Amino acid sequence: MTDISPQPLAGTDANPGDLTHVARQTSVYVYEAPVRLWHWINAAAITILCLTGYFIGSPPPTMIISEAAHQFVFGYIRFVHFAAGWVLAIGFLGRIYWAIFGNHHARQMFYLPIYSGTWWREVFFEVRWYLFLEKQPKKYVGHNPLAQLAMFCFITLGVSFMILTGFALYAEGLGHGSWADAMFGWVVMLVGGNSMLLHTYHHLGMWWITIFMIIHIYVAIREDIMSRQSIVSTMISGMRTFKDDDPD
């Protein structure tokens, strides 16, 4: 596809080669296969963790068809939760690896250019755009500044927090002196050794990420419709498509 009338993309957090916004429809390769694969595996793991985590915090009632000793419902819930936790943790380590060896966009969610006044102005522009206070969107090859901020706070920091606290709680089941206790036992000490308090923080973290997921899905669909640039399909194909701003 031929680029016509190139104009700079909004944003300062992009490589010079990314500044290829064009008036006619064009596509730019953004997210590499490992990033896209991680995104969907991470989304599935988080969904399973939130569902099972909710039931761990608020256990379902005991079924009356037989004695509780003859059932393993809660045990299955915990097993699925732990398995999804391992998938989340291993996937996150893989995502960090690809942030080092992947392209520019693979690193975007792991840092914030907080010393850039232009970046902050564009964050507030995006806030106004999402609040319907701006008439026209700006277009970005990678994450827009507000999305970058949200990904850093909710995913980079949020998932890191959930992995640390989750494995610290997992260590309790394995017992003192286990590998998990040796690696993550210090996390419990950060809350004065109060295991119940750590459970509470971990549970609140679940709701923190759940809120992000709801907003993330809404914003992705909204941007696909209103900003005339692909969002959802980009995380499937890797290509960001920019459409003609003025059909006439």
Listed residue (168, 28, 145) closest to 89, CA to CA: 168
Q: Which SS3 state, helix, strand or coil, does residue 114 take?
A: coil
Check: CB of residue 106 under 8 Å from CB of residue 99.
yes
- Digit-by-digit pLDDT tens for the chain (248 residues) are 333 333 334 444 544 444 444 344 588 899 999 999 999 999 999 999 999 999 998 887 765 555 655 678 888 899 999 999 999 999 999 999 999 999 999 999 999 999 999 999 999 999 999 999 998 888 888 899 999 999 999 999 999 999 999 999 999 888 888 998 899 999 999 998 898 999 999 999 999 999 999 999 999 999 988 888 888 889 999 999 887 654 44
Q: Which helix (H) or strand (E) holds 220?
A: helix 195-226
Model pLDDT, residue 64: 55
- Quickly list DSSP for 149-173: HHIIIIIIIHHHHHHHHHHHHHHHH
pTM confidence score: 0.83
Q: Domains of the chain, with CATH numbers?
A: 6-242 (1.20.950.20)
Model pLDDT, residue 63: 56
Model pLDDT, residue 10: 47
- Residue 92 sits at the vertex; the CA angle it makes with 86 and 95, to the nearest 5 degrees, is 145
